[in-house]
Chains A and B, each alone.
Chain A
């Protein structure tokens, strides 16, 4: 038993050393940014803390997006929630429906007497997170949009131009494979890139009720002939290796950076990783247009995450949080964040500042994401998505698309299955969100 006593003593010693904190008001911020982006998050917090002496923002890395969100939910149920939590865009409907749990950012800023002007923000970025009345619910933080990454050396060697349409993509993929490449193109985050953004890009609704913005009684409509035809064409390209599937999320990144695939569709935020790993000249361009569906692209929708304030803390702490929000969205911080990470800036001022600093001239192509997002004024079909249980629904879409790539079912079947299973999840959500 003496051993146990020693352990107890050890525990106590640690508890003391761990809780030696400053006398400032602490604001906890749970985030999902690992790696170098995590370093940048820490820098933002540290710079804010250094800029004033009343508040201290404490960032904590809580694992990936789902783990961070679940940790916050579990903590809320136990009354231990942080002030601020980073939630990915597909969790938006779940967060929004939890009215007693969240503190809408715009309202929080107003309550704290902190100035806030919604028109400072890029419409395509904030529209995803606004109520139908235009109130901003959460603060966009790291937003990106899918772009077409290409291996410039490989395209040149194959004599192919940078593609603008899906026909171009197919022709370029053929040229690349004919020239000895192992694969023409690939993509990651397939539901986001090939269904959500494909629909928005061609101004097609993905679900009824303005993609869920106008009510929880929404139903999926992405199982239409147009999406099915595009996906079936891609599935058929697998035979000649024009398209190779490389897994969910960013799992297929090494295929692109190792020169197996000449083109890759995924988030603009992979800029940093590609830059450090690719041993060839690369570039990014806008998503390809399906000329049978539209004459010109609409706009793409964002991904990434926003910061949600949670209820249940002291008003003084929210004052500090509001100040931090102001700091976070200032042009300097946003321009720095944008240039460092490849995420899009959330305010127009930050974009302009980046242009002034000559960032886009020295790094050609890095403004592709902003161009895509602000191509046109967002329509109800291209403003964003608001589907409940969307985390699970994305999994369902992933599963059915994987069955398609594996050749088990046709594109039409895959989409019908996904829509049917997705609708069941939407109905389930509708019951809990009243």
Chain B
């Protein structure tokens, strides 16, 4: 560091620790709520220290069908559904985006710009605003209650294509020239040069898309009519609003905790690549 100012360093740590506490507080409260019995969670003020019901709630949530009586799939099943959905979205989107970005950047062909704009207009338009017509399409194709229906419509977005396009544009032209001198065809070039070079971006994108897929709420709510296909995130909101009953906070919070673990794990585990891939290209 430039100069050593112990007091400033202490202040820095103090501010950062304060920040961490603010960020972590909701999680602490979630955890505490998941360790009490349902009646305790309706008495004010709610506890700030863990109680003794963690394992009971854990067992009921994970294996006992979560909130009693919804006859919902057990939570482990929902976790698998969420995982499948998140993985299919991430892999599917990365695959089709890599291919189309490759075509748009490295080939000259009629309607190239037409295709580019066609893909491009989907950028960022959220599912919420076109959800009912999309639902009808999915139903017509017989994809309700399937992982395909859950994931494929959400793959239609340009963000990833756009990002790979940016990445490919920064790759020096000499790469292609030397590859062609070596006699490499387009697919060879794609597989041996482009993919390795965009490794960190793929990783960063994987994190973003995994979280995007995992956190979907409205779409799975509409598309799944069988309890076997429900995802974990949609189940939380449903738990909040049982008709003419008060929410069972202990189970809701335990489910929330379980729903948070996989995406948080992905972010934290892939943190290095994620940060690199994101910040190096500025998206």
Contact = CB atoms under 8 A, between A and B. Distances in A.
Task: Please determine if A and B sit in direct contact within the complex, based on CB atoms under 8 angstroms apart.
Answer: yes
B170 interface: no
A35 B67 contact: yes
Interface stretch (B133-141, B182-190, B207-215, B267-275): B133-141
B245 A62 contact: no
A35 B242 contact: yes
Tell me the dominant secondary structure on chain A's binding face. Answer: helix
B101 interface: no
Given A42-B71, A80-B139, A35 B221 contact: no
A11 B85 CA distance: 10
Interface in B142-156: 144, 146-148
A78 interface: yes
B68 interface: yes
Contact of A78 (B43, B140, B228): B140
A258 B87 contact: no
B238 A64 contact: yes
Interface in B59-117: 67-72, 80, 84, 87-88, 91-92, 95
B42 interface: yes
Interface string A72-106: 00110111101000000000000000000000000
Nearest to B229: A18
Interface stretch (A132-140, A205-213, A266-274, A281-289): A266-274
A144 interface: yes
Q: Which of A33, A41, A79 has the most CB atoms of chain B within a 10 A radius of its CB? A: A33
A7 B91 contact: yes
A74 B226 contact: no
Interface in A19-59: 30, 32-42, 59
B44 A276 contact: no
Given A3-B91, A34-B69, A63 B244 contact: no
A71 B225 contact: yes
Contacts of B95: 1, 4
B241 interface: yes
Contacts of A30: 225
Contacts of A60: 71, 225-227
19 contacts: A11-B84, A11-B148, A33-B243, A34-B67, A34-B239, A34-B245, A35-B68, A35-B245, A36-B68, A36-B69, A37-B242, A38-B68, A60-B227, A61-B71, A61-B227, A75-B139, A250-B245, A254-B42, A277-B43
Contacts of B225: 30, 60, 62, 71, 75, 80, 82
B248 interface: yes
Contacts of B91: 3-4, 7
A279 B39 CA distance: 10
Contact of B71 (A3, A59, A71): A59
Interface residues of B, number: 44
Interface string B212-232: 000000000110011111000
**3 A-B pairs with least C-beta separation:** A34-B242, A78-B139, A39-B69
Contacts of A7: 84, 87-88, 91
Size band of the interface chain A makes with B: 35 or more
B132 interface: yes
B213 to A, nearest CB: 12
Given A34-B239, A35-B67, A60-B226, A258 B44 contact: yes
B9 interface: no
A77 B39 CA distance: 42
Contacts of A15: 146
B127 to A, nearest CB: 14
B178 interface: no
Contact of B69 (A42, A142, A273): A42
A41 B246 CA distance: 18
A29 B44 CA distance: 38
A267 to B, nearest CB: 6
